[in-house]
Structure formats: structure tokens, C-alpha cells
């Protein structure tokens, strides 16, 4: 007769080791400081004497950017100021006390701009249409104007590595062009230098860091509630790629910094017509290949 042995009792789940958790948190913070510091150095984002306006939305990205920049500021070999600026767009139910309370409790120099862009967007954009584009333009205009009026020469935005890659694919798939979101740029009016210190940082690391730091996250109920956005489609594609081939997004991110104009097809970036040209041949001499009328001299 066979003997039926009782199933083993499951081992009690061990409580998380606080020392290990602290060690992992310190490793993550060190990695973020290193990546942000490297981006600042690679692109010359911050120099001695800069007045940096850090745009704080209340989301995980901008909280993390502000926190890491404040840490780097304490040890930086150059002197620069940081002011956190939030635009209160007067969205219904917006908890306007959260950001000022957080910033005051942490001794961060800050300013809240109050401008009712929500009503403008809600009035102009038809119901069911994407509000992000107009909302972004109005928000950017208000922040740039305040920066100019108050002498800030650098404007820091919280876009991370995944945002840069997603923007590249958005332009590729929906606008038929190879362009993206650069780590540093000059605004269209030439008056503002915009920097993205999180350009090398993974979104997953930011989410984990924000959780560990217990930032008081404020969700965006205006554009965050709109599901059928092109950016969300690209994000799903990128998430699927990363699950199937871990590290693919990092590879694409590195590729954005290694452009080979001669391996693409843009004649404005590389002189294909001059390549291998013999004698006095000119571009016009090849017009007949494209079906252009050509008159032969008698």
C-alpha cells in the first residue's frame, strides 16, 4: 500500500530586509545622479551662473528631475540657481495646495503661475478630440514668458529616455520625418535654451524612484484621460518590444546619438550629387533621368 505524504507547509514569507531595500534605493539614486550628470556634461546643459527654471507638473518625471538636480547642485563644481515653477491651469478639482506645500516643506525656491488655460482648451477643442497639442502650446507659452520676464536662461523639462524614443517614432510613423526630441534646444523664438536632464534615464527607474521617495503625484485629468492618442499607440509598441527583446529601447536611444547622414537619403545633409562626380557634370545634367524636358544644343 502506497503511503500518501502530506504536502509541505509553505514557508512563511520573509519580511523585506530594510537594509537590502535601503541599499537598492541608494543604488537607484546613484544611477540617476550619474545619468543626469552625464547628460548635463554631454550636452553642456548647465554652466556657471545659470538661472535654471525647473518646470514642475506634479508628475513623477518632473518630481524626479527636481530632486536629482537639487542633489547635484550641492556638489557641482559650478554655481547655478534652481527655481521650481508650476503652471496652475485651473483644471476642475486640481489640488492647488499639494505642490506649494511639498516645495515649502523641502525648502525649495518656487513660484506658481496661475493662468486659466483649461477653459481655453475646453472651449476651442471639440469634444472627443485630443487636447494635448493646444494644451502644451499654451502651457509652454506661459512658462516661457515667465522665464523671460524673470531672467531665467535655462528651462528644464522632465522628458526622459523613453519620451525621446517615442517622439522619434511618432514623427516617423505619423509625420514621415526623422526627427525627435533633443536633449537641448533653442526655442523657436531664439530666446530660451530648453534642457532635458532626464534624457538618459529609463521611465521604469523614474517610476521606482518616485515610489521610493513618496512624491505627492498629481494626475493630469485633462489629457491623461484621453485613451486613443498616437503616443499611447507607440508606447504599447515599445512596451511589447521591450518584453520580447529586453534592451531594445536602450539600443534605439543610443542610435539617436549616432546618425550617419551618408547612410540615409537626405540631400540637404549629405551631398549625394557630388559623390563620384566626374569633370564638369552638374545636377541639371541628370534631369532627363527624372523625366524633365531637356533641349539638346544643335
Summarised one tens digit per residue, pLDDT across range 39-61 is 999 999 999 999 999 999 999 99
Is 223 among the annotated ligand-binding positions?
yes
Sheet holding 154-156, edge to edge: 110-114, 81-88, 51-55, 154-156, 193-195, 184-186
Q: Is the pLDDT of residue 241 over 70?
A: yes
pLDDT at 281: 58
Q: Is the pLDDT of residue 120 over 90?
A: no
pLDDT at 142: 87
pLDDT at 284: 58
For 44, what's the count of Cα atoms within 13 Å in the CB-facing half-sphere? 3
Is 55 among the annotated ligand-binding positions?
no
State pLDDT tens for residues 133-160.
Answer: 667 778 888 899 999 999 999 999 999 9
Q: Which domain holds residue 144?
A: 36-257
**What pLDDT band is residue 292 in, cutting at 50, 70 and 90?**
low
Region of residue 176 (left: phi > 0; alpha: psi -120 to 50; beta: else)? left
**What pLDDT band is residue 276 in, cutting at 50, 70 and 90?**
confident
Q: Which three cell numbers stand for residue 152?
A: 531665467
Least confident of 13-17, 48-52, 77-81, 198-202: 13-17
State pLDDT tens for residues 187-238.
Answer: 877 888 999 999 999 999 999 999 999 999 988 665 544 544 788 889 999 9
Q: Which three cell numbers stand for residue 227?
A: 485613451
Q: Is the pLDDT of residue 128 over 70?
A: no
pLDDT at 88: 86
Place of cell 527654471: 53
Kindly report the average pLDDT of the chain as a whole number. 85
Residue 290 lies in a domain: no
- Beta strand pairing status for 193-195 and 184-186? antiparallel
Residue 285 lies in a domain: no
Q: Is the pLDDT of residue 273 over 60?
A: yes
Residue 122 lies in a domain: yes
- Beta strand pairing status for 154-156 and 81-88? unpaired
Is 220 among the annotated ligand-binding positions?
no
Residue 18 lies in a domain: no
Residue 5 lies in a domain: no
pLDDT at 224: 45
Residue 277 lies in a domain: no
pTM here? 0.83
Cβ neighbors of 172 (< 8 A, separation 6 or more) are 178
Q: Is the pLDDT of residue 71 over 90?
A: yes
Residue 214 lies in a domain: yes
Cβ pair 185, 147 in contact under 8 A: no
- % of the chain exceeding 90 in pLDDT: 61
**What pLDDT band is residue 262 in, cutting at 50, 70 and 90?**
very high
Cβ pair 52, 81 in contact under 8 A: yes
Instruction: Look at the chain and report how many structural domains it folds into.
Output: 1
Residue 198 lies in a domain: yes
pLDDT at 117: 74
pLDDT at 118: 74
pLDDT at 6: 43
CATH number at residue 115: 3.40.50.620
Q: Is the pLDDT of residue 3 over 50?
A: no
Amino acid at each position: 500500500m502506497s503511503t500518501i505524504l502530506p504536502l509541505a507547509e509553505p514557508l512563511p514569507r520573509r519580511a523585506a530586509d530594510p537594509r537590502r531595500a535601503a541599499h537598492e534605493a541608494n543604488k537607484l539614486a546613484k544611477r540617476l545622479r550619474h545619468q543626469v550628470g552625464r547628460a548635463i556634461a554631454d550636452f553642456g546643459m548647465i554652466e556657471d551662473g545659470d538661472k535654471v527654471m525647473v518646470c514642475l507638473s506634479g508628475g513623477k518625471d518632473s518630481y524626479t528631475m527636481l530632486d536629482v538636480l537639487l542633489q547635484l547642485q550641492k556638489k557641482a563644481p559650478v554655481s547655478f540657481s534652481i527655481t521650481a515653477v508650476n503652471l496652475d491651469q485651473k483644471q476642475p478639482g486640481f489640488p492647488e495646495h499639494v505642490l506649494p506645500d511639498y516645495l515649502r516643506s523641502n525648502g525649495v525656491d518656487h513660484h506658481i503661475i496661475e493662468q486659466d488655460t483649461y477653459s481655453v482648451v475646453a472651449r476651442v477643442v471639440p469634444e472627443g478630440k485630443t487636447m494635448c497639442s493646444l494644451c502644451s502650446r499654451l502651457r509652454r507659452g506661459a512658462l516661457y514668458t515667465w522665464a523671460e520676464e524673470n531672467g531665467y536662461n535655462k528651462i528644464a523639462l522632465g522628458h526622459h529616455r523613453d519620451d525621446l524614443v517615442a517622439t522619434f517614432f511618432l514623427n516617423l510613423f505619423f509625420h514621415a520625418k526623422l526627427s525627435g526630441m533633443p536633449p537641448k534646444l533653442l526655442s523657436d523664438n531664439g530666446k530660451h535654451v530648453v534642457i532635458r536632464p532626464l534624457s538618459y534615464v529609463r521611465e521604469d527607474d523614474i517610476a521606482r524612484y518616485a515610489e521610493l521617495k513618496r512624491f505627492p503625484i498629481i494626475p493630469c485629468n485633462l489629457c491623461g484621460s484621453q485613451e486613443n492618442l498616437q503616443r499611447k499607440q507607440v508606447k504599447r509598441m515599445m512596451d511589447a518590444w521591450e518584453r520580447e527583446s529586453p534592451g531594445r529601447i536602450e539600443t534605439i536611444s543610443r542610435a539617436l546619438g549616432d546618425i550617419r547622414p551618408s547612410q540615409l537619403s537626405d540631400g540637404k545633409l549629405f551631398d549625394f550629387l557630388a559623390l563620384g562626380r566626374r569633370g564638369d557634370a552638374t545636377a541639371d545634367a541628370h534631369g532627363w533621368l527624372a523625366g524633365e524636358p531637356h533641349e539638346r544644343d544643335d
